[in-house]
Amino acid sequence: MSRTLLEGKRVYQTPDGNKLASVTTILDATKDKTHLNRWRKKVGYEKAKQITKEAASRGTTMHKHLETYINKGVWQTPGSNPYHQQAFEMAKIIYKNALVDVNEIWGCEVGLYFPKIYAGTTDLLGLYKGEPTIVDFKQSNKYKREEWVTDYYLQLVAYAEAHNEVYGTKINEGHVFLCTKDLKYQQFDLTPENYNEYKDMWWKRVEKYYTNHAD
C-alpha cells in the first residue's frame, strides 16, 4: 500500500483500488481535544508545537532503531547527536522489556486495511508469548496513566480487525510497548477479556468519522 496526503490528512491507496482514511486520521478527528487544547494554552502554542515536534522526531528515530534491529539483528549506531542517542537508549529499553518475549515475527511496519473503510501500518505483527498479536511502539514525554491511553487500545483493535477481515485470522490481542524520554518502560495490553469493549468503541469512532466526513 502507498501513503499520501489528501487535504492534509493521511490516506492509503489500497490493493482494492480505494483511497482510505488512516487509523490515526480517524482517531485524531474523533477524539476529545479538551485536555490537549488546555495544555497548549497553558504552555503557549509555539512551545507546544516545539515539544510536539521534538517528541515526534524522537519517536521516529526510536522506531527506526527498533525496525533495523528486528530486520537485521544488529543495532544501528546512534552517532553523536544527543537526541539520537536518547532514542537509541529508549529502543533498547523496549527490546529488553518486551521484544525478548516476541517468539515469532510475521512482519515489521505491516500495511493493513479493512476493505473500503480504513487502513494503517502496525509496527509489528507476530507471536508474543506464543499468541498472535499486534504490537505498537510508543514514546512519551512522561509516564502515562491508564485513563489517558484509550486510543492506544483502539489503534491495536483497528489493526487486528483489519488483519482478521482480510486474512481470516482471529487476533484478539495487542500490546503497546512504551518508553518515556527518561527511560521508564510501560506496557499496555489489549487482551481477549477487554478486546470486545475496545472493538465496540473503535467502530463507534469510525461511524462518527464518516458521519462527519460524508463526502
Helix axis angle, 195-212 relative to 23-30, nearest 10°?
80
Q: Give the range among 8-12, 98-102, 154-158 with minimum mean pLDDT.
A: 8-12
Q: Give the range among 24-28, 66-70, 77-81, 178-182 with minimum mean pLDDT.
A: 77-81
**Structure confidence at residue 37 (pLDDT):** 77
Question: What are the DSSP calls for 104-129, one per residue?
Answer: EEEEEEEEEEETTTEEEEEEEEEEET
Amino acid at 161: E
Helix axis angle, 34-43 relative to 45-72, nearest 10°?
120
Is the distance from CB of 202 to CB of 161 less than 8 angstroms? yes
Cell of 87: 532514542
Q: Which fold has domain 2-212?
A: Lambda Exonuclease; Chain A (3.90.320)
Q: Give the range among 7-11, 70-74, 89-93, 185-189 with minimum mean pLDDT.
A: 7-11
For residue 185, give the H/E element and its range: strand 185-190
Confidence of residue 8 (pLDDT cuts 50, 70, 90): low
Is the distance from CB of 152 to CB of 188 less than 8 angstroms? yes
pLDDT at residue 77 greater than cutoff 70: yes
Give me the residue spans of the domains in the chain: 2-212
**Structure confidence at residue 214 (pLDDT):** 62
Confidence of residue 5 (pLDDT cuts 50, 70, 90): low
Q: Express each pLDDT in 21-70 by its tens digit.
A: 999 999 999 988 777 778 788 778 788 788 888 888 888 999 999 999 99
Q: Express each pLDDT in 84-120 by its tens digit.
A: 899 999 999 999 999 999 999 999 999 999 999 999 9
For residue 148, give the H/E element and its range: none
Q: Average pLDDT, stretch 181-186? A: 95
**pTM, two decimal places:** 0.90
